Amino acid sequence: MKPIWIVDDDQSIRFVLEKALLREDLPTRSFTNPRDVLSALQAADDDGGPQVLVSDIRMPGGSGLDLLEKVKAKYPGLPVIIMTAYSDLDSAVSAFQGGAFEYLPKPFDLPKAVELIRRAVEESQREEVAEQQQAETPEMLGQAPAMQDVFRAIGRLSQSNVTVMITGESGSGKELVARALHKHSQRANGPFVAINTAAIPKDLLESELFGHERGAFTGAQTMRRGRFEQADGGTLFLDEIGDMPFDLQTRLLRVLSDGHFYRVGGHSAVKTNVRVIAATHQNLEQRVKEGGFREDLYHRLNVIRLRLPALRERKEDVPMLTRHFLQQSAKQLGVEPKRISDAALVWLGNFGFPGNVRQLENICHWLTVMAPAQVIEPKDLPPEVSVSADGVGAGEGAKPAPLVAAPLVPSAAPAELVEPADPVTAAVSVVALDDGAVGEPGWAATQVPKPVIGWPGEGWEHGLELDAIALLASGRTDVWDELTRRFESRLITAALGATRGRRIEAAQKLGIGRNTITRKIHELGLE
């Protein structure tokens, strides 16, 4: 493997990084200024360059940002980590705009820095994957049975001008379906006009829908055609129809009945030929019962009802939609599309998506901007996704399953010293440790949902002493290793439970390094 190039005028920084990377079996090569790096790059062939470049910003003889620009010109795919003791907004922005892999402010946590460098190495070692060329993207994506039903319904409605009511949760793609209904109808050559009735103030909505004559109200300097006139010969999409004011519902009903209406302030009837498609995320039947929506208008609109499934009902479509939105976001931002690992797709598939497809699109845009590597891993997911329905984080080493540790209670502890379980915490799953960590004298793993609030006497130390005495009396010669193993197992498990499985956070709370907790988890069989 090619070496990690370290560029820093501070000898101590170079020494610390070299030793840390050497322990990880990562070769290094150090430089004190950018000039030496550029000279080495000119002399090196394609195989003689660095695997990863780690550079300071402010150094005698050149700037790390200038070095970044020149290195990226020769090695566009080389991961470059910029570090500086003068961390400010301009430096961070300049680093990322220049194509830096990551920005590392000093002083940094050494295990985190090593982990970052290792991740950059993994990124540089990935085979170059040819950019997935998408043919003409279909207007709607979906392989789930529920979406196939929607496609069939659109096909059946293609030869009809009947009014359609689209229902579904917010963000499920109701306007997209409305556009598809228009595109595949006999009115495809006519205009498609969309209006969100909930986004326009009540006083302006009437004029927006039906237009107004000059002088109809203050500010009406000219005659204006409303959306019904604009959509003549085509389709008018009324989104969030359930929020339309009650008095306007009467006017809408009349237009749907005979196709005539009057502009605000007008005296001449205007006739239009418009197909109306309405959409709502509300329960209109309930709104009718409550008196918030006209029953006759409801029946007029509800000729054909088309229900869109929520994204959680079509999880098989999540991978396809994710890759599509990643491609789309990269195209919008003018960057290389990022790839997503199977593990990250599993986490996305387990997420409930209360915002449906719109939320997934926003997440993909966020990942395109914020994920440091070209391959998105579970730990790169945004906070709302990195916690599953079970409340478990998607951090390093986490799995999509609950990991909650039971508190430790000495077998001699009286029951009244433990807080009673409430209905919420009592439902938390409890995972027992491996066989070596339970069932030993003086200790018991119990399904107590809350920690012990008090201990008599010497507490758990006394229990530990009793365990030691019992093991020594039995002739054991590995008492130290055995008790240390059990102690560390319980301590790490409790920390993982408190941090919902996030190893880095658990290590921080315990005051140990990330590599240490990873090694301990492996040694203790806690994976």
Q: Could you report the per-residue pLDDT of 28-80, keeping only the tens digit for each?
A: 888 888 888 888 888 876 666 788 889 888 887 788 888 888 888 777 778 88
Q: What is the pLDDT of residue 428?
A: 33
**126-135, 254-263, 502-511: range with lowest mean pLDDT:** 126-135
| pLDDT band per the 50, 70, 90 thresholds, residue 220 | confident
Stretch 246-262: mean pLDDT: 85
For the chain, first and last CA: distance in Å? 29
Residue ranges and CATH numbers for the domains of the chain are 4-125 (3.40.50.2300), 145-309 (3.40.50.300), 314-380 (1.10.8.60), 408-523 (no CATH)
Average pLDDT, integer, range 449-460: 44
Identity of the residue numbered 439: G
Q: What percent of the chain has pLDDT over 90?
A: 11
Edge-to-edge strand list for the sheet holding 4-7: 28-31, 4-7, 52-56, 80-84, 102-105
Q: Are strands 304-307 and 275-280 parallel, antiparallel or unpaired?
A: unpaired
* pLDDT > 60? residue 308: yes
The owner of tokens 């478990």 is 392
- pLDDT tens for residues 343-375? 889 889 888 899 999 999 999 999 998 888 788
Cα gap 517→504, rounded to integer Å = 8
Instruction: Using pLDDT thresholds of 50, 70 and 90, give the confidence band for residue 326.
Output: very high
Predicted pLDDT of residue 128: 40
**Mean pLDDT, the chain, whole residue set:** 78
Q: What is the pLDDT of residue 167?
A: 92
| pLDDT of 363 | 93
Q: Is the pTM of this model over 0.85?
A: no
pLDDT digits (tens, 9 = 90+) for 407-433: 333 333 333 333 333 333 333 333 333
- Between CA 430 and CA 90 the distance in angstroms is 48
List own/partner pairs for 451-459 with CB under 8 A and 24 or more apart.
451/407, 452/407, 452/409, 452/413, 452/417, 452/418, 453/417, 453/418, 453/419, 454/417, 455/410, 455/413, 455/417, 456/413, 456/414, 456/417, 459/410
Residue 265: which residues within 8 A CB-CB, separation 6 or more? 212, 213, 214, 215, 216, 217, 220
What digits encode the pLDDT tens for the residues 256-294? 888 888 888 878 888 888 899 999 999 999 989 988 899
Average pLDDT for 109-119: 85
pLDDT digits (tens, 9 = 90+) for 142-194: 778 888 888 888 888 888 888 999 999 988 889 999 999 998 888 889 999 99
- Residues 231-243 have pLDDT tens digits of 889 999 999 998 8
CA 78 from chain center: how many Å? 26
- For the record, the structure tokens of 493 come out as 């498990």
CA distance 518 to 233: 66
What's the confidence (pLDDT) of residue 361?
92
How much is the pLDDT for 139?
Answer: 62
| Mean pLDDT of the region 319-324 | 91
Q: Comparing 315 with 219, which gets the higher pLDDT? A: 315
- Rounded to an integer, what distance in angstroms lies between the CA atom of residue 300 and that of residue 264? 23
For residues 366 and 345, what is the distance between their CA atoms, to the nearest angstrom? 15
